[in-house]
Amino acid sequence: MNILSIDHAEFYVGDAIAMTQSLCSVYGFRVYGRGGPETGLPGQRSVLLGQGDIRVLLTSGLHEDHPASQFVARHGDGVAVIGLRTDVAAAYADALAAGATGICEPRSWENDEARVVTAEIEGFGDVAYRFVERRGLDAAFQPGAIVMEPDVAAGAAGDLLTLIDHVALCVPAGQLDPVIAFHEQVLGFTVIFQDSVEVGAQGMLSKVVQSPSGDATFTVIEPDINRQAGQIDDFLAWHGGAGVQHLAFLTQDIVHAVRTLSERGAGFAATPSSYYDMLGARLGPTEIPAGALRPLGILVDRDHWGQMYQIFAKSTHIRRTYFHELIERRGARTFGMSNIPALYAAKDRELAEIREMTGTSHA
């Protein structure tokens, strides 16, 4: 199977209009298209957002029996479908032959300018994988179902975010290896990294799988049951099982992006000043000076190919499950594994503040 890239992510949400306003006003997304019963999507209302090469589809069910409504009832708002660009007919046949469960057989969506073919299989938890093949006008997302806005590319020169760098998945203890095996056997991915991460008394196990193209990457995380329960356990309890913890959005200028998004109301996880005190000894000179990173809480790491910078946004999800990551790559191909303890420690401090305010404890 030849997975080329991540085509889009579809969120099932309780209120697509409200989430549209948040992602547009804070993160700079624009409305690219809309769909609903009047466009042949019965029982739902969908809004397509875009920025750079990122496409996010927000879908709300209009009745309680719609899959989006059922997903939201179980998990709250979250990523329910991940679109993967590929040759749909071949990918769907290969996936079923490898043991995947089909949801939707290949179907064509077309007009005079474009043809889009889609098919879906079960992925992990309640998340599905949608194979997508596009021919013709690239701006058409789902001809006949999503009506595109005119001049959707207007203002693209000012986009802060460019594409989905990777997707992070949380799975229950004992499910890491089976989920990894599924991605290897069904999707043709390869394990490129693995690690055991300790954050204080907590622990988690992680493996990263990637498509042969290198443009579709998934980080899969499970809690370490031999250590104290922590935020991965919280995610699984609050989300109601396995799910997408975050999408990492690539940016070409993370300092500018974090400053701009902060001014618009986005919150980001704080990093202790001591992290930057030790930065020179750990990494040597950094392309972005520590003095620019410190006030924003941006972390930095390097590998054989270059440097990368990253930060977690604070969750605005009512269950405090899903959140965004921002990442800038200056040649680096890896995922800042030495930063993982600092990233998750920052996220744990955020969750600890919430527990203190609400009087709750770890699940």
> Tens of pLDDT along 6-52?
999 999 999 999 999 999 999 999 999 999 999 999 999 999 999 99
Provide the token pair at 163.
Answer: 């594409």
Angle at 266 between CA 265 and CA 272, to 5 degrees: 120
Same domain, yes or no: 95 and 173: no
Entry pTM: 0.92
Given a cut of 90, whether residue 157 has pLDDT beyond it is no
175 lies in some domain: yes
- Look at residues 155, 180, 213 and tell me which one is the last residue of a structural domain: 155
Same domain, yes or no: 211 and 145: no
Same domain, yes or no: 52 and 185: no
Same domain, yes or no: 208 and 76: no
Residue 227 is predicted with a pLDDT of 86
Residue 164 CA to residue 29 CA, distance in Å, equals: 13
Which helix (H) or strand (E) element contains residue 277? helix 273-277
Residue 99 is predicted with a pLDDT of 97
Same domain, yes or no: 275 and 330: yes
Same domain, yes or no: 65 and 197: no
Given a cut of 60, whether residue 332 has pLDDT beyond it is yes
Given a cut of 70, whether residue 354 has pLDDT beyond it is no
215 lies in some domain: yes
Same domain, yes or no: 91 and 194: no
43 lies in some domain: yes
The model's pLDDT over 76-105, given as tens digits with 9 standing for 90+, comes to: 999 999 999 999 999 999 999 999 999 999
The model's pLDDT over 190-213, given as tens digits with 9 standing for 90+, comes to: 999 898 887 777 889 999 999 999
Q: What's the structural domain count of the chain?
A: 2
Same domain, yes or no: 131 and 101: yes
Number of H helices, E strands in the chain: 10, 17
**b/e 136-171 (16+ beta carbons within 10 angstroms → b):** eeeebbbbebbebeeebeeeeeebbbebbbbbbbbb
Angle at 240 between CA 199 and CA 350, to 5 degrees: 35
Residue 346 CA to residue 363 CA, distance in Å, equals: 19
363 lies in some domain: no
Same domain, yes or no: 298 and 277: yes
Distance of CA 193 to the CA centre of its chain: 18
The model's pLDDT over 159-186, given as tens digits with 9 standing for 90+, comes to: 999 999 999 999 999 999 999 999 999 9
Residue 153 is predicted with a pLDDT of 59
Residue 248 is predicted with a pLDDT of 98
11 lies in some domain: yes
- Look at residues 130, 155, 180 and tell me which one is the last residue of a structural domain: 155
Give Cβ neighbours of residue 81 (< 8 Å, ≥ 6 apart). 9, 10, 57, 120, 127, 128, 129, 130
SS3 149: coil
Q: Are 246 and 325 in contact (CB under 8 A)?
A: yes
Same domain, yes or no: 232 and 342: yes
Q: First-to-last CA distance in the chain?
A: 39
Residue 173 CA to residue 120 CA, distance in Å, equals: 26
Same domain, yes or no: 228 and 258: yes
Same domain, yes or no: 230 and 348: yes
Residue 359 is predicted with a pLDDT of 62
Rounded average pLDDT over 231-254: 96
- What is the span of the domain harbouring residue 268? 163-358
> Which CATH number does the domain housing residue 231 bear?
3.10.180.10
pLDDT > 70: percent of the chain: 91
Q: Which of 63, 62, 109 is nearest to 83 (CA)?
A: 109
SS (H, E, C) 334-347: CCCHHHHHHHHHHH
The model's pLDDT over 284-316, given as tens digits with 9 standing for 90+, comes to: 999 999 999 999 999 999 989 999 999 999 999
